[in-house]
Amino acid sequence: MSLHTLTAHEAGELLAKKEVSSVELTQAVLTRIDQVEPQVNAFITRMNAGALAQAEAVDAKRARGEVLSPLAGIPMVLKDNFCTKGTKTTCGSKMLENFVPPYDGTVVKKLLDNDSVFIAKANMDEFAMGSSTENSAFGPSKNPWDLGVVPGGSSGGSAVAVAADECMYSLGSDTGGSIRQPAAFCGIVGLKPTYGYVSRFGLVAFASSLDQIGPFTKDVQDCALVMNTIAGHDPLDSTSATVDVPDFTQYLTGDIKGLRIGIPKEYFVEGIDPGVRAVIDKAIAQLEELGAICEECSLPHTKYALPAYYIIAPAEASSNLARYDGVRYGYRAQAEDLLSMYRKTRSEGFGAEVKRRIMIGTYGLSSGYYDAYYLKALKVRTLIKQDFDRAFEKFDVLLSPTSPTVAFKFGEKADDPMSMYLSDVFTISINLAGIPAISIPAGFSANLPVGLQLMGKAFSEGTLFKVAHAFEQANDYHKAKPSL
């Protein structure tokens, strides 16, 4: 059997029954990587030796009869903005090309405590800024469904790795759609949890009030399993919520009768690819057949979300990225005085999109503009959140396409930042409101995957999993594999 095609829960069962070892699983995955990685370029740093050592250690524990976590011994991949002690963490940037963190982030630690096997650090848009992984300083990753189209971004590499069966699951980060959009483009499951559900300690910050870590998986059950492990309060993260983490797998009942699904009309406007629209309409019909009640609703301030995001996120980013100045770590340009050193280092170390956003952010915070831009955007953000609060009084989940199009060609939007930003139009409000959303495979258009997005109110991931799982099990989209 092709071990690399297994889901995490399938692999877990085999491991528990001792029908397969973690080393075997890991080796299968490494072989697969050798096969396909030259084509897809999902990774920045390989961790082969460490992975096998971890796998061996887990197998030994299992042999001793220790009770292990459901994720134990299962090969996975981390986006390269997760600080991993002793392993390069580049954030897809020349600025941190050789940066080796002296510490593990909290989620990384949790996975280690659960005996995970780390295969690689995944490629990404530089500092998580982008929607196609074309902004990586180390070359783009390719969509396994069609090597001529983007995998999405910024967590492109993490999505590719799962879609190409280079690992059983991966983690990415989502600030404006950076998990959900690549999940949709690559035909896999991607979840952005409620803001504060998963610790950000160790995640290199892009926009502090928007960033969240989340899983990429081959099916919804895996997503629930991963959330069980990574969610929970962290005393090292002041924005981490003090809520209990349920066993999310209990929500996978398959029963969504009577569940109320809202279809926000502002998300179904012109600009959606007809093929994508058709897939989503079919999905809505199917959900109704499964017993859900689908009805139109309104999120009136939707059109302000993109502008508000592109003021708030760059503002926070301009401050979060100020530390990259060549003084303590990372890239340093040679120069004669301090100011020149700062300027050259940051001019040479950062790519174009990062510089663009730092400038936008600095402008929006500057004296004379703060009130008109940043402060105003924060107020708009409150209105957007209130739209969702009102909608969730009536509905259990909301539904939309994850992206207005399928994966676009390389270079198609790279020279037009505005067009690139628009590809986030359905995902971005969710980050502003801090609520959770999941993208699941819903079909194909022009032979490329189409993602369906479900949004829930804060800490309602269980409900999202319930609906997503029911839809998934009524279809086979999650079983489709690209022909690499």
Partner 1 sequence: MPLQDYEIVMGLEVHVELKTNSKIFCGCTTEFGGDQNTHVCPICLGLPGVLPVVNKKVIEYAVKAGLAINGNIANFSKFDRKNYFYPDLPKNFQTSQYDLPIVAGGYIDVEDEGTVKRIGITRIHMEEDAGKLVHQGETISTSDYSNVDYNRTGVPLLEIVSEPDFRNANEVKEYLEKLKAILQYLDVSDCKMEEGSLRCDVNISLRPWGQEQFGTRTELKNMNSFRAVVKAIEYEAERQAQLLDEGDKIIQETRTWDENRGVTLSMRSKEEAHDYRYFPEPDLVPMVIDAAWIQAIRETLPELPDAKRTRYIEVLGLPAYDANVLTLSKAMAEFFDETVKLYANPKAAANWIMVELARLLNASGLEISECKLQPDNLAKMLRLMDEGTINSKIAKVVFEEMFNTGEDPEQIVKEKGLVQISDSGALEEIVVKIIAANPQSVEDYKAGKKQAIGFLVGQIMKETKGKANPGLVNTMLTEKLDS
Q: How far is the CB of 94 from partner 1 (least distance, A)?
A: 14
Q: Any contact of residue 200 with partner 1 (CB under 8 A)?
A: yes
CB of 211 closer than 8 Å to CB of 172 = no
Closest alpha carbon to 262 in 309, 218, 302, 307:
302
**Token pair 């600030």 is at which residue?**
175
Strands (E) in 277-431, as ranges, are 293-297, 397-401
Q: Please, which of residues 48-67 interact with partner 1 by CB under 8 A?
A: none
Q: Annotated catalytic, 445?
A: no
322 or 446: CB nearest partner 1? 322
In the complex with partner 1, the residue whose CB is nearer, 201 or 465, is 201
Q: Does 191 bind partner 1 (CB under 8 A)?
A: no
- The answer to whether residues 471 and 283 touch, using CB atoms and an 8 Å cutoff, is yes
Distances (CA, A) of 476 to 111, 219, 342, 472: 30, 11, 53, 7
Q: Which of 22, 93, 154, 158 is catalytic?
A: 154
Task: Say how far residue 337 (Cα) sits from the centre of its chain.
Answer: 40
Q: How many residues bind partner 1 (CB under 8 A)?
A: 43
Out of 60, 327, 352, 446, the residue judged to bind partner 1 by CB under 8 A: 327
Within 284-323, the residues that bind partner 1 by CB under 8 A are 315-316, 318-319, 322-323
The CB-of-103 to partner 1 minimum distance in angstroms stands at 5
Binder among 14, 243, 329, 332 for partner 1 (CB under 8 A): 329
Task: Tell me the residue ranges of DSSP E strands in 182-292.
Answer: 189-192, 212-217, 260-264
Tokens for 411, please give them: 């270079």
How many C-beta atoms surround the C-beta of residue 17 within 10 A? 8
Bridge-partner residues for 231, per DSSP? Answer: 198
- The answer to whether 206 contacts partner 1 (rule: CB under 8 A) is no
Nearer to partner 1, 374 or 388 (CB): 374
DSSP per-residue string spanning 19-70: SS-HHHHHHHHHHHHHHHHHHH--EEEE-HHHHHHHHHHHHHHHHTT----T
Tell me which of 38, 65, 102, 274 binds partner 1, using CB under 8 A.
102
Is 379 noted as a catalytic residue in this protein? no
Give the nearer residue to partner 1 in terms of CB position, either 31 or 366: 366
Residue 429: active-site member: no
- Residue closer to partner 1, measured from CB, 40 or 311: 311
Does 205 help bind partner 1 (rule: CB under 8 A)?
yes
Stretch that binds partner 1, among 236-244, 252-260, 286-294, 459-467 (CB under 8 A): 236-244
Beta bridge partners of 192: 437
- Binding partner 1 (rule: CB under 8 A), the pick from 103, 139, 250, 265 is 103
Q: Name the residue among 434, 458, 443, 455 with its Cα closest to residue 261.
A: 455
Q: Does 35 bind partner 1 (CB under 8 A)?
A: no
Amino acid at 104: D
User: Which listed range, 75-83, 115-123, 290-298, 429-437, lies at the site for partner 1 (CB under 8 A)?
Assistant: 75-83
Print the binding letters for residues 6-25 with partner 1: x by CB under 8 A, - otherwise: --------------------
Q: Is 78 helix (H, G, I), strand (E, B) or coil?
A: strand
359 lies in the site for partner 1, by CB under 8 A? no
**Which residue, 157 or 401, has its beta carbon nearer to partner 1?**
157
- Whichever of 63 and 359 has its CB closer to partner 1, that residue is 359
Binder of partner 1 out of 250, 370, 416, 447 (CB under 8 A): 370
Contact range with partner 1 by CB under 8 A, out of 36-44, 95-103, 113-121, 140-148: 95-103
Query: Are 171 and 213 in contact, with CB atoms under 8 Å apart?
Result: yes
Please give the C-alpha separations between residue 365 and each of 203, 316, 321, 377, in angstroms, as whole numbers. Answer: 24, 9, 14, 11
Check: CB of residue 393 under 8 Å from CB of residue 299.
no
Q: Does 230 bind partner 1 (CB under 8 A)?
A: no
Burial class, 314, CB count within 10 angstroms (exposed 0-12 / middle 13-18 / buried 19+)? buried
350 binds partner 1 (CB under 8 A): no
Instruction: Give the strand pairing for 117-122 and 43-46.
Output: antiparallel
Which of 34, 447, 93, 458 shows the shortest CA–CA distance to 275? 447
Nearer to partner 1, 235 or 291 (CB): 235
Q: Which of 21, 22, 69, 79 is catalytic?
A: 79
Say if CB 395 and CB 297 are below 8 A apart: yes
Q: With binding defined as CB under 8 A, does residue 273 bind partner 1?
A: no
DSSP calls for 332-364: ----SSHHHHHHHHHHHHS-HHHHHHHHHHHHH
208 is an interface residue for partner 1 by CB under 8 A: yes
Between 334 and 483, name the residue whose CB sits nearer to partner 1. Answer: 334
* Nearest distance, CB of residue 252 and partner 1, angstroms: 33
Question: Where do contacts with partner 1 occur on this chain (CB under 8 A)?
Answer: 81-83, 89, 91, 96, 99, 101-103, 105, 200-205, 207-209, 235-239, 315-316, 318-319, 322-323, 325, 327-329, 338, 342, 362, 365-367, 370, 374
* Catalytic positions, written as ranges: 79, 154, 178
